[in-house]
Structures are given as structure tokens and as C-alpha cells.
Chains A and B, each alone.
Chain A
Amino acid sequence: MGTILFELALTGYFIAAIIGIIDLFRGGKESSKLMIAFSAAGFVLHTAAIIYRYVAGGHLPVTSMHEAASFFAWCVVLIYFFLEFRYKIGIMGSFILPIVLLLMITAAFLPRTMAPLAPALRSHWLWIHTIFAFVSNAAFAVAFGIGTMYLLQEHYLKSKHLHGLFQRLPSLQVLDEINHKLINIGFPFLTMAIITGSLWAESAWGRFWNWDPKEVWSLITWFIYAVVLHLRLTAGWRKKRAAMLSVIGFIVVLFTFFGVNFLLKSVHTFQ
């Protein structure tokens, strides 16, 4: 049942992402309504799939790599819908839904077995810590999509390539504003994730900081976004450079999320 729901959600996102990618290359009006409809259908099914796993497992389904990637994708779609509702930028989906699709495909290839919860994870911290972590990661993921849009639009304006996609991308100011808001959400949530994580570590292992690879890479991510915010406030690094940093920042986020689990040994590694 859970598997079927997940698969159907994946199909919905798949169709939506394909529509989005096709829209990028078409000269005409985008089929954004269709794209939103399919991603909304995918989102409803995805939510059902997550609830199903939650009920079956008795805890927030973020304790296997499959669950984590799937939940990550779910958060990204949630933020995407918030933004689409607020700004109504149809073409935005073309930049965000492919990220969702990639996360979902990754999840699809990972083992879906539900293992019993390790003793260390049986805590309320699981809720608090992971929600902060996932929301911040999702905000950074969306900021990556928006940053890409900014860099593309800025390139079009500088090189005076002013037709096709240029016409359908929103103004630099709007993209910069959204990017800024996303980092303004993502950064405090990441901060909270690190703080709650170290509190949890203290209660589970008796130490706040263990120099675990995940902890280290989270800190690196935190520094990158701190730099973005700081330089935005102080001068110089707004707009284009902020967009570039939010693109680079997300690559580090991805490494922290996946790379640490696959390449390095960490307490965060899923069984």
C-alpha cells in the first residue's frame, strides 16, 4: 500500500517535472496549470504515503535513507507550493520540480524495508531535530532553483538575449527577494537543527559535539549561508553573488545529506 502510494506520487512528480522541462524550451505560453495539477496530485499521494509509513512504523519516517530522501522531496514541494501561491510564477516549477524528481528517484532506488528504531533514536528529539533539518534543507533546495533562475535571467539581461525564456522568467528583483526569504528561513532552521542536534547528542551520548562528519559538514553549510547573509547585510554581495552562493550552498547541502551517508562513516548513517 505504502509502496503503491509512493510510486503513484513519483509518477505525478515525474509528469509534472517533464512538463516543466518541456516548458523551458518552448516559445509559447507555459502549461503551468497542468504542471501544478500533476505536482499537487503527486503531493497528496506523497503525503498519504508518508502518513502510511508513520502509522506503520510509529515514528516520523526519516530513519532510513529512502525515507529521508522522500521526506526531503516532500518538504521541497511544500515550499514550492507556498511560493507558487504567493508569487504565481508558473515557470518556477520548471526549476524546482526536477530537483523533487531527482530526490524521489533516489528514494525509489534505496531499500524500503522498515527496520525497528535504533535505541538512540527513540526520543522526542527525533521529531524536533529532523523537522528543523529538513525544512532548512528544503528551503536551500528551493533557493538553489531560484538562484539558478536569477543567474539565467541576469545572463539574458547582460548578453541582451531578450526573447524566449527571458520573457517568461520574472524580474531580477523578485527572484532576489524570494532567494533572500528562503535563506532567511533556511538559515535559522539550520541553526536550530544544529543546536537541537547537539542537545540530543548530549542526552544520547553525553557529548554536545562529536566531530561526526555530518556535524562537520552541517557546520560548513552553516558557515556558507552565514556568509551569504552577512555579506548581504553589509554590502557588496547581494543579487548575483548571493544567487551564486545559494547555488553553491545547495551542492554542499546535498553532500551533507547524501555524501556523508554514502562515503563517510557517521552516526547519522542509516542502517
Chain B
Amino acid sequence: MNILVIGLNHKTASVEIRERLAFNGPKLEEGLLAIRQLKGVNEAALLSTCNRVEIYASVCDVMTAAEAVKDFISGFHDIVRPEFEKSLYVYQSEDATRHVFRVSSSLDSMIIGEPQILGQLKDAFEFALSKKTTGVILNRLMKKAISTAKRVRTETRIAENAVSISFAAVELAKKIFTELAGKSFMLLGAGEMAELAARHLINNGVTDVKVANRTYDRACELAQDFCGCAVRFEDFVHELVRTDILICSTGAPSFILFRDQMQKVMKERKHRPVFLIDISVPRNIDPEINKIDNVYLYNVDDLQEVIETNILERKKEATKAETIINEEVEKFAHWAATLDSVPVIVALRQKADDIKREEIERFRNRFPDLDKDKMEAVENLANSITNKLMHNPTVALRESAEDREMITIIIKKLYGIDGEDEE
């Protein structure tokens, strides 16, 4: 038994190759079933996302299975091997386990710590489970991949800091206002990034939503979208008196909000703090405004910088995560080693012998006057019963090749032979 991972990701393969090797829609099931049928493959699962394509398999011999999988990819996607082979990585045994754990813990992702990949991996394995292409080993591998990812998440700060503009905006707002419920928000202008950030703020509880735009109709449209109300563009400065968070993203070529205007606004709002986010390029809000007390002005570069430092922090945390993963890889290897049938046969025999000896001893104590011949006969009887009972399980353990792991596990469970770390 061995675990094999063959795959490619955004680091090893260009988007053209990733596109060509992707298993989309019905191809996923088709591909998965075909891989399971390959020679030497006992279990299989298939993950296909926009950033990676990976095949997980439990195989008898790694080299043969790897060749078979490569040939299959070439045939299935109609692409010659030299075209994609150098983009592939092939891992086996502990390296394969480590890779799966790194993927599930999001250490191998484009943005370290982003959690989507864990869900995608879970889906891939659940799909494989529903198609009955996995068995004891891959199921266990998946379970451990999920628990390792959870450990990494709780024991390190890998996912704590925002790494997108809209998340960063919400995170900063929470450092000023604690919670966003009941806070008022105004979107000035439009644009994809601004609307995304607005939506994110609304999801986080911002209640009073206002939209201002140079074209009033557009403002009305967006306001309807956000369940807010439209504000005339000329009124936006005045409206700031009743706004706690502003996202500004207009196409104006120069500043539309100046320091003296903002100073007046602050006086009117009795200096309650206000968070201004200027994501327009060129900037729309005079940067001098940040010098006013209780005004926090961030432009797109500031947010970008927040994100970059956060990514650095995540990378620092990643080294801690690697330690956790190494521990888990070791535990998994330990479990995999117990699947070897020879020690199980020995343990099984040992257990039978122990029971036999105990029972004979008890018998001897009950009938101390029994003569030697009869005692010998009883011992022989016991020997022959245990031997006969042990015969079939021993043979099954020794001879079955295909489902040996399954049998090993079942026998260990049935006869209560220790060696597993849990369950």
C-alpha cells in the first residue's frame, strides 16, 4: 500500500495547461471512475479547481500507477505527455500525506490561509466517497486532512488578518467602531471594488445605507440594490454629518472633499469619529483630511499596504503551521504502518495464545487432582480449537492483496488488538 499524489497548481502550471487538464462538470465523474479502474490503483479521489488539479490514489506500486495516471491524463484530455509532464508534481507516502495536509491547511494556496480550498477538498472527497472510489486509506487521509487544517486554524493566526480590500475595510472599521451594527454608511460613486466593499460592510451589520452619484438615476439604482436611499451628489458633504463610514470611488479627476469642508462637518457631528475610504484613482479626498482629529482616511494604497503586511504575517504563521503538519504526517505514517499485516498476525496469535493459557490455568486450578494424561488431553483440545479458529483470519491476512488494509483493520477491531491511536 502506498499513497500517491499527482497534480499541478498555479505555481507549476500556466493557466493554459490548468484549463486543459481541468475536470469540469461531467468530466469529473468520468475521470474519477476511469482513474479508479487503472491498473494498480486501489482507491482514488480527484480535485479540480481553477488553481489546481490533483489526483489522490492508494496504490500497490507507485511507479506503475504514476505512469498509468500520466498516460490516462494524456489520453483523457487529448494532450501529449511532454506538454504537461514538467508541470506535474508526483508525491508518494509521507510526502504525499504532507502535500495533502498542506493543501487542506491552505499553505499551498495562492493566498496563504484562505479557507476556500478546504471546502473544495472536502467536496472532492465526498464526491469520491459517493462514487465509492475511496476506501479505508483515502477516507482516513481526508479525515486527518480536515482535522489538521482545523488545528492549523486554531493554533496559528494564519487566517486572522484580512487580505482583500473589502475585508481590510471591515477590519479597520471594527477597530474604530467595535461593531458595525447601527452605523451609517455612504457609498460615493460606483465601481466593482467599491460595491464589493459596500456589500461587505452591509453584511457586517451597517444599517443606514446611502448612495450618492453624479447621475442621480444610477444612485437610485444602486440604493435599491443595497436597500438604502439615494442622495443627490451636491448634498453628499452635508450628508457626511450623519455618516460614519464613507467609501469614495468616483471618476473625478481631482479632490472633491477638502480639509476645510471636513473640518466643518466634524464640528457639526460633534467630532464623532468617521472612517473615510478613498479607493478612487486619482484620489478624490484631500489627504490632509487625515490630520483632523477623529477622522481616519485610508486610500487604496494604504489598504493595499495593510493587505501586504497581513500576507507577510500569514507567511510567518505558516512556519508554525508546518510544524503542526509534520506532527500530523508522522501520526498518519504511524497509523499506516500498523496496516502492515505481519505484526497483526503476530498480535492475533499472541492474543489467542494468551486466552488459551489463561483458560487452561483456570481449569487446572479447578481440578487440581486431574491426572497427567487427562490434563494433556484438555490442553490438546484447547490448542486445536484456537488453531482452527485462527486459521482462516491468518490466511486472509496473509494472502489477500487487494483489500488487505480493510481486512487488517476489521480483524484488529474484531479481536480488539491495540495499535490504533484513536477510534
Contacts and interface: CB of A to CB of B under 8 A. Distances in A.
Interface string B267-301: 10011110000000000000000100110101000
Interface in B287-330: 290, 293-294, 296, 298, 302, 305-306, 309-310, 313, 316
A167 B176 CA distance: 12
Given A29-B157, A238-B271, A163 B310 contact: yes
A247 to B, nearest CB: 16
B293 A160 contact: no
A162 interface: yes
Interface string B178-222: 100000000000000000000000000000000000000000000
Interface stretch (A113-121, A171-179, A252-260): A171-179
B88 to A, nearest CB: 38
B177 interface: yes
A194 to B, nearest CB: 30
B301 to A, nearest CB: 10
A174 B177 CA distance: 8
Interface in B150-183: 157, 160-161, 172, 174-178
A158 B306 CA distance: 13
Given A238-B272, A239-B273, A241-B293, A160 B306 contact: yes
A238 B273 CA distance: 10
A153 interface: yes
Nearest to A170: B178
A1 interface: no
A241 B139 CA distance: 60
A239 B271 contact: yes
B311 to A, nearest CB: 11
A59 interface: no
Nearest to A172: B176
A172 B302 contact: no
A191 B175 CA distance: 34
A81 interface: no
Interface in A133-189: 153, 157-158, 160, 162-163, 166-167, 169-174
A163 B305 CA distance: 11
B23 to A, nearest CB: 40
B272 A171 contact: no
B180 to A, nearest CB: 11
Contacts of A235: 267, 270-271
Interface residues of A, number: 24
Interface string A61-83: 00000000000000000000000
A173 B176 contact: yes
B299 to A, nearest CB: 10
Contacts, number: 59
Given A29-B157, A173-B178, A162 B270 contact: no
Given A157-B175, A174-B178, A238 B270 contact: yes
Contact of B271 (A29, A167, A170, A236): A236
Contacts of B272: 238
A163 B271 CA distance: 26
A223 to B, nearest CB: 22
A171 B309 contact: no
Contact of B172 (A29, A162, A238, A241): A162
A110 B290 CA distance: 48
Contacts of A174: 178
Contacts of A236: 267, 270-271
A158 B276 CA distance: 12
Nearest to A175: B178
A166 B171 CA distance: 11
Nearest to B293: A240
Contact of A162 (B178, B267, B306): B306
A158 to B, nearest CB: 7
Given A157-B175, A160-B305, A167-B161, A172 B273 contact: yes
Contacts of B313: 27, 163
Contacts of A237: 271
Contacts of A153: 175
Nearest to A176: B273
Contacts of A162: 172, 306, 309
Given A162-B306, A236-B271, A239-B271, A157 B296 contact: yes
18 contacts: A28-B157, A29-B157, A157-B172, A157-B175, A157-B296, A160-B302, A162-B309, A163-B310, A166-B175, A167-B161, A171-B178, A172-B176, A172-B273, A235-B271, A236-B267, A238-B272, A238-B294, A239-B273
Given A163-B309, A170-B178, 11 more contacts: A29-B157, A153-B175, A157-B296, A158-B296, A171-B174, A174-B178, A235-B270, A235-B271, A236-B270, A237-B271, A240-B294
